[in-house]
Every structure is written in structure tokens, then in C-alpha cells.
């Protein structure tokens, strides 16, 4: 295994750096012999878009799931590779298990970033980032989740129920078989 040298290995130091830089933390659990981890190192992380977005938005840290038991327990981690998006207090905001190709990982980076930014009231940034994600990855299986989250940010920005209802209508039209389409809440 040849992990990228730009990853930290101490979680508390990483959290402090993230706080100073105003970024989130991406915590990846890995282990020796993990086939998904190997594919991340060989295929996903070398992608120039992945590399750029990862370091622009996050301070990354890698932990061995078998060696770092206290941290594994803190986040209830059980799989490799797994990705935990943490705020600057070290609290988990979003996570995903398993290997992801470059496109899927770029979508995950967006969902992780907005999970950190949304509670901080960064609604315009969330909307812009998700619009970018939807423009670049409209057919990704996580596109309905990006659209739903964008709708939440728009609602929180202006408390306009009609705007969120419009987003839900868009989801039902574009992604009728998605879980998000089944989240329609209005009684007709």
C-alpha cells in the first residue's frame, strides 16, 4: 500500500488544522490487504479532479481500522475503506462505506461537504456546490440525494415551502424510482 503522503495520521492534529483552515475533516479507515483501499489508491485518489476537490475542501486523515481501535470505536467504524466527514469539533456529519470510483467519490465529497456546511448556515455555498454536482453528474445514483439536499438548503434559506415542493416535484419527475421521490410529504 502506498498512501498519498498528504494525508495526516493523527486525528486530533488533523481536527486542529481543519479548524484553522476552515475546512472539514475526511477520515478514511483502511487496513492492509483491503482490495477496495488498494483501488482507491490506484484509481480514485490519483484522479486530478478528486485530488483537487479533496484537498480544497478537506484535511484528510487515514487510520488503520485494526490498529486504531479507540478511533474506530469513537465512530463505530467496521468496514474498509470507509469515509467519515467530520466537522471542526470532530463530530461525524456523514459517512459512506466501500470503494468508490472517481465520479462516485466526487459526489461523496460534495455530500460530505454540504453535510458539514448546512448546519453552519452556508446555504448559498451548499446550493452552488450541489448545482455543480447535479450539472456534472446528473445520472449518478446519488443525484436525487444531491437534489433533495439542495432543496433543503433553499428552504432553510428562505423558508419557502413552495420552493421545496418544487424541488420534490423535480425529483419525482427526474428520478421517479429514487428513495427521495418516495419522500413526498404533502397530502393531496
Contact 141, 98 (CB under 8 A): no
Q: What is the DSSP letter of 136?
A: H
The pLDDT of residue 64 is 97
**Model's pTM, two decimal places?**
0.94
The residue ranges of the chain whose pLDDT is under 70 are 1-5, 187-188
The pLDDT of residue 187 is 60
Q: Please state at what angle helix 143-158 crosses helix 102-117, rounded to 10 degrees.
A: 20
The pLDDT of residue 36 is 97
Q: Structural domain boundaries of the chain? A: 1-100, 121-188
The pLDDT of residue 2 is 37
Class of domain 1-100: alpha beta
Residue showing cell 460530505: 112
Amino acid at each position: 500500500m502506498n498512501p498519498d503522503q498528504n494525508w495526516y495520521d493523527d486525528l486530533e492534529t488533523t481536527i486542529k488544522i481543519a479548524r484553522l483552515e476552515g475546512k472539514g475533516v475526511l477520515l478514511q479507515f483502511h487496513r492492509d490487504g483491503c482490495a477496495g483501499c488498494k483501488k482507491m489508491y490506484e484509481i480514485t485518489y490519483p484522479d486530478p479532479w478528486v485530488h483537487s476537490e479533496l484537498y480544497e475542501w478537506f484535511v484528510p486523515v487515514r487510520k488503520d481500522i485494526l490498529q486504531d481501535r479507540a478511533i474506530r470505536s469513537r465512530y463505530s467504524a467496521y468496514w474498509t475503506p470507509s469515509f467519515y466527514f467530520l466537522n471542526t469539533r470532530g463530530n461525524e456529519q456523514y459517512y459512506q462505506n466501500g470503494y468508490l470510483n472517481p465520479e462516485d467519490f466526487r459526489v461523496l465529497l460534495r455530500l460530505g461537504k454540504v453535510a458539514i456546511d448546512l448546519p453552519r448556515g452556508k446555504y448559498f455555498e451548499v446550493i452552488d456546490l450541489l448545482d455543480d454536482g447535479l450539472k456534472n453528474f446528473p445520472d449518478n445514483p446519488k443525484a436525487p440525494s444531491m437534489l433533495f439536499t439542495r432543496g433543503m438548503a433553499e428552504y432553510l434559506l428562505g423558508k419557502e415551502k413552495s420552493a421545496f415542493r418544487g424541488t420534490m416535484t423535480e425529483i419525482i419527475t427526474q428520478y421517479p424510482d429514487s428513495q427521495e421521490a418516495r419522500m413526498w410529504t404533502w397530502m393531496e
